[in-house]
Chains A and B, each alone.
Chain A
Amino acid sequence: MSIAVEFKDVTKKFAGAGANAVDHVSFQVEKGELVTILGTSGCGKTTLMKMINRLYDPTSGEIDVFGEDIARTDPVLLRRKIGYVIQQIGLFPHMTVAKNIATVPDILKWDKEKTDQRIDELLKLVNLDPEEYKSRYPAQLSGGQQQRVGLARALAADPQIMLLDEPFGAIDAINRSNLQDELLAIHRRSGKTFLFVTHDVTEALKLGTKVMIMDRGRIQQFDTPREVLDHPANDYVASLMKSVVEGLEFLK
């Protein structure tokens, strides 16, 4: 197995902040994994993710993507190879669904035919009928549909790594569950490496081939969902898992 993403003793401290947002973190993500990064707000999970596509640069340490130190790459070119989906979706309101999805292909100057074909393919992949949705504007879509387009847009140029920052955070439970299933299917079929930030314990356990639990800028545990549930590494992880189990117990 080759390594897709590797952090080597990475620290991020924001100017004026007391503590490190990400504190001496080291880990490896193998190619094809779907790693969920779980933690409460302010634990450093989003900061950690944004260092992978260089929206933030680490204060110290090294990050490798497919063996290459990203500090030595052009951030703009790096980002074009990494899919990125954010919670607020970030669809461009002045562009049609098709134009939104074509963002990176257009930057990369694909020819029109190839781009159009790709748009149809992607819309089908996220279960939206191309003919019906292609020429709509984001404001004419529901939240779940917008997020589907966001996903399609991030997948457009066939990136080897996908970063997803609480993509389903603002979506109702039923739609979220559907989207989660679709994401799992897309991941399985694509063989790509996904990193998925969430604060929802159930979501993290359901989606992740591995779960990374963070607190105060440090990794508390990084293991399979089964291991995390059965053998929590410390009290923090144990209390987090307990909250889920208790939620279900309550109903019995």
Chain B
Amino acid sequence: MTRFLEYTTRHYDKLIEALLEHLQMVGVTLVISIVLALVISLCIMDRKRISSWVMRVCSMIYAIPSLALFALLIPLTGLGSSTAVVVLVIYNQYILVRSFTEGLQLVDAGIREAAVGMGMTKWQVFIKVRFPLALDAMVAGIHIAVISTIGIATIGATIGAGGLGSILFDGMRTQNGVKIVWGTVLSVVLVLAVNGLLKLAEKKIKKGIYHMET
């Protein structure tokens, strides 16, 4: 216990730095992932065969162990956090493209036909009808992606991406239990905090768009 307190008081700046690095990695990843997934989803949502192929490819990539994918990308993008972000973005595509396209495809056909039949342009149908009605499913996908990104990002430390993983792996290499505990605790706290925020956002959306009390 004294070792724990001693480490914490002496190195709290390192802990905060790692946490911030982690947050930054997750944040950058999310922004890129969501934009990319939106573009992909828009391209494939009305093409059933192509979308099922895209999903197959994404799920295959998702099945590659993260450590292996990090290692595979080193020759291409080198060491550091940018490689980690690339890997995390790739993983997220499975979760995000899936929930985005499914959400957009599941919007009631009658409602879509009414929108088209009344003279909305393709873009108006998307913005006014399809997107708001799919938003629920899309945010649920983003939620899963955030949580999974926070977890997988710790592996990024193996290629020098920093973040909470660096504390964890340091601890493992030097048999330092305190570091392992701190790395784990901070990851979990981060997940819980983000989880709470997203739940709040989901509730707001449900109320604002669908007028459902949850």
Contacts and interface: CB of A to CB of B under 8 A. Distances in A.
Interface in B95-147: 108, 110-111, 113-121, 124, 128-129, 132-133
A104 B119 contact: yes
Contacts of B133: 92-94
A76 B120 contact: yes
Contacts of B114: 84, 86, 89-92
Interface in B172-214: 209-211
Contacts of B116: 55, 79
A89 B110 contact: yes
A103 interface: yes
Count chain B CB atoms within 10 A of each CB in A53, A81, A163 and give the residue with the most: A53
Interface residues of B, number: 20
B108 A88 contact: yes
A133 interface: no
Interface of B is mostly: helix
Contacts of B121: 76
B119 A79 contact: yes
A174 interface: no
Contact of A137 (B108, B120, B211): B211
A104 B118 contact: yes
A96 to B, nearest CB: 9
Contacts of A92: 111, 114-115, 128-129, 133
A94 B209 contact: yes
Contacts of A81: 119
10 contacts: A76-B120, A79-B118, A84-B118, A86-B113, A89-B114, A90-B110, A90-B117, A92-B129, A94-B211, A107-B124
Given A86-B117, A91-B111, 6 more contacts: A55-B117, A79-B118, A86-B114, A88-B111, A90-B111, A104-B119
Interface of A: 53, 55, 76-82, 84, 86-94, 103-104, 107, 137, 139, 153-154, 163
Interface of B: 108, 110-111, 113-121, 124, 128-129, 132-133, 209-211
Top 8 closest pairs, chain A to chain B, by CB? A90-B114, A88-B110, A80-B119, A79-B119, A84-B117, A90-B110, A94-B209, A90-B111
